Amino acid sequence: MEFVSAIIGPVVEALMMPVKKHLGYIFSSTNNIRKMNTRLKKLDTKSIDVRNHMETNNTSQLEIPTEVPGWLEEVEKIKEDAERISSNYNGCLSVKRRYQAGRNAFKTTEEIDRLIQENTEMKWTNTPKPLGKVSFKKEPTSVPSNGDAKNYFNSREKIFEDALGFVQHDHKMQVIALCGMGGVGKTTMMEQLGKTVKNRNIFGWIVKVVIGQKINTLSIQQAVAEYIGQTLTEMSIAARADRLRTTFEKMSQEGKKVIVILDDVWEVVELNDIGLSPLPTGFKLLLTSRNETVCKQIAVEANSDVKVVRVDVMEESEANNFFCEITGVSKESDPGLNEIGNQIVKRCGFLPLAIKLIATTLKSQEICVWRDTLNRLKNNDLDKNVQEIIEFSYTSIREEDVKVIFLLCGLFPDDFNIPIEDLTRYAWGLKLLKGVPTLGDARDRTKTCVRKLKNANLLIDSDYLECVKMHDLVLAFVQGEVSKGDHPWIINHGDISRWSRAEMSRSCQKISLTCMGMTEFPKEFKYPKLTLLRLMGGDRTLEFPEDFYEEMENLEVIVYEKMEYPLLPRSLQCSTNLRTLILHQCLLMFDCSSIGDLLNLEVLSFAHCGIHKLPSTIGNLKKLKQLDLTGCVNLHIDEGVFKGLVKLEELYMRVSDGKRIRFTDANFNELAQCSRNLSALEIEFFENKAQPKNFSFKKLERFRISVGSARQSYSEDNSKSMHSFKNMLNLITTKDELMESRLNELFPKTEVLFLEVNGMNDLVEILVTSVCPTRQSFYNLKELHISKCADLRYLFTVPVANGLVKLERLTIRKCPVMEIVAYSESGAEGVIKFQELKFLYLSDLPMLVGFCNTISLIEQPQLVELILDGLPKFTSIYSENKSSTFSLSSSAIQPFLSKEVLCVCQNINYQSHI
């Protein structure tokens, strides 16, 4: 009997296991659903954290783990499944439905637990994202238009759609070429194609390189490498090509889709030199060129057929309308002037660039100017017309300041993003701007000049903030202009091996050279009339003659960029006139004390250089007005440096990633004394003892100051804002320390404000009403980020809220006792209006019950994104308004939002789905 039981018992148990499991789905269905919902809340929290992390990395151009987009999509699907299970259950008495709900909830919970586990295994890094990598985004429901009428016109729609079709769908056609004459709009169409394929996520990588008239293989290789995140340490072209080829082959094997854009191709580019011969599987090549034959030859090397898309000039009617649109003169308003305009358009050959340039020049001009322009255009061929049109625009500039800033732009290579700050520093050193006593005044004047040049279409917008670009035709004109006359400029950013010695005139005034591939400067490099020397891209093999600076006593500006071992000016001959010395991204792994002998220096920049010590001799520069130490990590500053800089107006010392400049007590004391004269300051105080005590901020107009943290605004795209400047305060401190530092005096000028302040009950407590009325204390504020304020019960009063007229982003998180956002002391009802607010994020506020205690209406007409997370007591928008009984449902949100808004609500006490 025992033997039988020993055999039958396990068999019965095995048979009963499935039965027990399925019965469990019935009897434990409620528990399974409750457990599923509990786990789902945890998953929701983690998914929000992942999305925020992904947004931060996207805006900061940092890598995102490859599994993140797929994980987020799975989370959304699980949330839909869980919601369907819960909504279909409702305590149902049906055994079948209870069984299905219990089983589905159990399996969904297992999937949720799997996703939570995968989340813990995600590895986030601070690795910069390669320029060419496309950020993940869901494909838009509607494709953007091909471009507005000012760029593409009706006649361009089919051309654009054809090109897009070849890029997107024709997998056999790997090379697509946009061909047409200069100024016809090839680059504009190429850029629109790039934006479209990026928005549609057609390619995972977009690599763009501007070739230009002179092919510089080393520069092309370097540009390609930067886009794909590759570091090229090899010296020879062949070795660098092999490195790129290996990377591209790996990308192809991994199934990655890549489009390589070569813009402004004049000659055949050896694809083998950039690792693209033949083109790997999954790769496409998009060319823009004036020469179809060149494109076909490149396609042969790519081992592919080529599809040439012709970009022609505009149709006559479109060209006339385009001209009229710019000048504001139509057939109805002035038939006579309109007829002259039509003839001018014909003389421009219906070329968009030429029409745009000349129409801008003629806008608001008298008829005699129009007639004279037409007469000057007659009897010339098209190329000369274009050149003359640019000359018309240039000669029509009356202000000498605008002209000199325009010519300075010619110092930069093709398609270069020209920082306005660089133009300011060059112009200051060369004494080109009249009547500007301070660098701040010079910067304003330069920006004004740039604005006028953009309005005249001689400069165009850049991809980067605070930068501009110059069309290649305009650049050719400028470089031709400055190469003429008694004091020509030497500008060579192509192949330095083709640099003719005949170009070396002793009367030359300005030189700008790219030195990549150059090993030795010629010994006969002597320019007694030289006022500006700008050298870029030289590696450690580049050698300078010992007497390099002899006979250069007239030098006023020296610029070294990405030069591993630049030759610092040592000769006293350079100290007489030299006013600007710029060293950007140079190693400088040697003694820099000789710079202290350049006694007339007024602008000195070591931005992103490898300098580890600022020697005491820098304190000898009694005339120095600007010192830029941006990105100088672990820098030690000798005692006496700041004490000696008695004329200093601007000081930039921001260092990213928490790698601070090493301040001593003596440095702080000297800097506090120096601060009384500063109009611009960028500095980070990391340590608790490093508080800005005894500092004066009364003269500051430009500032980025951090206390206790090196965190930067995550709302900015750092890769495109490297030259921009927003007045920012980032303060992790206490109320008493903040009041003592008097940093709050800067609030009226602040654009971005991060606050983590203990001991503060509301913002009014830290305002300086003697400096600015309460309502106007944050007049210029565009971003406000409040975090971990332990004592904050409400953020601002209604008058302060209504004074935030420029606020675009408001983030409040982890404030444990905050009950409402805006407080009305009088109890009277009224209106709060955030005219520019686009982003509102309220998170982890356990005591928050509403937005305002009495206000009956909160207007946010521009709001596009609302995120509410971790607000367990937040049940209504208007917490104490007796006349408003809105629960946090769709009806409660409606008066809060004026249009369609992305709304994410998590961990909130509400009943209805929003």
Q: Would you state the pLDDT for residue 701?
A: 94
Residues 304 and 323 placed together within one structural domain of the fold: no
- The pLDDT of residue 363: 86
Range in 47-51, 175-179, 563-567, 885-889 the model is least confident about? 885-889
DSSP bridge partners of 706:
684, 730
Domain shared by 16 and 90, yes or no: yes
Residues 224-279: pLDDT tens digits? Answer: 998 888 888 888 999 999 999 999 999 999 898 999 999 988 889 999 999 998 89
Compute CA 864 distance to the chain's CA centroid, rounded to the nearest angstrom: 20
Token digits of residue 542: 């580049």
Which tokens hold the place of 198?
Answer: 């990026």
4 vs 562, residue with greater confidence: 562
The residue among 284, 310, 336 that closes a domain is: 310
What is the tally of structural domains in the chain?
A: 4
Cα–Cα distance, 344 to 338 (Å, whole number): 10
Q: Domain check: are 262 and 168 in the same one?
A: yes
Residue 349 lies inside a defined structural domain of this protein: yes
- Which backbone phi and psi does 611 adopt, to 5 degrees? -70, 135
What is the CB neighbour count within 10 angstroms for residue 668?
19
pLDDT in tens, 701-729: 999 998 886 554 444 444 444 566 889 99
More confident residue, 91 or 732: 732
Closest by CA to 244, choosing from 280, 298, 213, 288, is 280
pLDDT at 12 (0 to 100):
47
- Neighbouring residues of 48: CB distance < 8 A, sequence distance ≥ 6: 867, 869, 904, 906
Question: 583-606 burial, b for 16+ CB within 10 Å, e for fewer?
Answer: bbbbebeeebbebbbbeebbbbbb
pLDDT at 91: 54
Q: Which of 612, 605, 691 is nearest to 659 (CA)?
A: 612
Residue 356 covered by a domain: yes
Q: Are residues 103 and 12 in the same domain?
A: yes
- Report the percent of the chain where pLDDT is more than 90: 32
Domain match, 162 and 304 both: yes
Assigned domain for 93 exists: yes
Sheet arrangement for strand 820-823: 794-797, 820-823, 850-852
d(CA 416, CA 472): 10
Residue ranges with strand state E in 118-226 = 175-179, 205-212
pLDDT at residue 151, rounded to an integer: 47
pLDDT of 213 reads 78
pLDDT tops 50 at residue 531: yes
Cβ–Cβ under 8 Å, residues 885 and 901: no
Same domain? For 188 and 276 the reply is yes
Residue 144 pLDDT: 41
Indicate the DSSP class of residue 412: S
* Whole-number pLDDT of residue 214: 81
Q: For residue 659, tell me if it sits in a domain.
A: no
pLDDT at 377 over 90: no
Cis amide leading into 895 (omega within 30): no
Name the CA dihedral angle for 157, 163, 164, 169, rounded to a multiple of 10 degrees: 140
Shared-domain flag, residues 250 and 393: no
Q: Which domain holds residue 23?
A: 1-121
CB 872 within 8 A of CB 849: no
Mean pLDDT of the chain: 81
**91 CB burial (10 A radius; 0-12, 13-18, 19+):** exposed
Task: Count CB neighbours of 139 within 10 A.
Answer: 10
Whether the pLDDT of residue 112 is over 90: the answer is no
pLDDT at 386: 73
CB-based contacts of 226-232 (< 8 A; 24+ apart in sequence): 226/130, 226/131, 227/130, 227/131, 227/132, 228/130, 228/132, 228/133, 229/128, 229/129, 229/130, 229/131, 229/133, 230/130
Residue 304's nearest CA partner among 176, 494, 434, 138 is 176
Local structure of 710: helix, strand or coil: coil
pLDDT tens digits along 152-172: 467 788 889 889 988 887 777
| 174-188, 424-438, 456-470, 630-644 — most confident range | 424-438
pLDDT score, position 136: 62
| 602: pLDDT strictly greater than 90 | yes
pLDDT for residue 816: 95
Mean pLDDT of 579-586: 94
Residue in this structure with the two tokens 């990588």, named with its chain if needed:
205
Strand-pair category, 680-685 with 752-758 = unpaired
Check residue 28 and give its pLDDT.
64
Same domain, 277 and 176: yes
Could you tell me if 33 and 64 lie in one domain?
Answer: yes
pLDDT of 35: 81
Q: Record the tokens describing residue 460, joined without a space.
A: 């165009």
Q: Residue 554, SS3?
A: coil
Q: Which of 278, 310, 342 is the last residue of a domain?
A: 310
Question: If we measure between CA atoms, which residue out of 512, 491, 514, 511 comes closest to residue 223?
Answer: 514
Inter-CA distances, 759 with 501, 705, 788, 790, Å: 70, 21, 11, 7
Looking at the structure, do residues 222 and 279 belong to the same domain, yes or no? yes
The answer to whether residue 186 is domain-embedded is yes
Q: Quick one: 390 and 375 in the same domain?
A: no
pLDDT tens digits, 220-231: 998 999 888 888
- The torsion region of residue 140 among left (phi > 0), alpha (psi -120 to 50) and beta comes to beta
Task: Answer whether residue 848 is part of any domain.
Answer: no
Reply yes or no on whether the pLDDT at 395 is more than 90.
no
* Average pLDDT score over residue span 188-202: 89
Distance CA 199, CA 201 (A): 6
Residue 610 domain flag: no
Mean pLDDT over residues 127-148, rounded?
Answer: 56
**Residues 6 or more apart whose Cβ sits within 8 Å of residue 732:** 707, 708, 709, 756, 757
Give me 459's structure tokens.
Answer: 């400069």
Percentage of the residues of the chain whose pLDDT score is greater than 70: 82
Q: Give the residue, 472 or 509, on which the prediction is more confident.
A: 509
Global pTM? 0.75
Residues 360 and 453 in one domain: no
Backbone angles phi, psi at 299, to 5 degrees: -65, -35
Using the 3D structure, point to which of 263, 289, 310 is the last residue of a domain: 310
What confidence score (pLDDT) does residue 50 get? 85
In a domain, 672, yes or no: no
Q: Which of 439-453, 525-539, 541-555, 818-832 has the lowest mean pLDDT?
A: 818-832
3-state secondary structure of 837: coil
The CA–CA distances, whole Å, from 508 to 165, 203, 514, 531 equal 51, 47, 17, 9
Nearest Cα residue to 514 out of 859, 219, 316, 264: 219
CATH number for 439: 1.10.10.10
pLDDT recorded at residue 156: 81
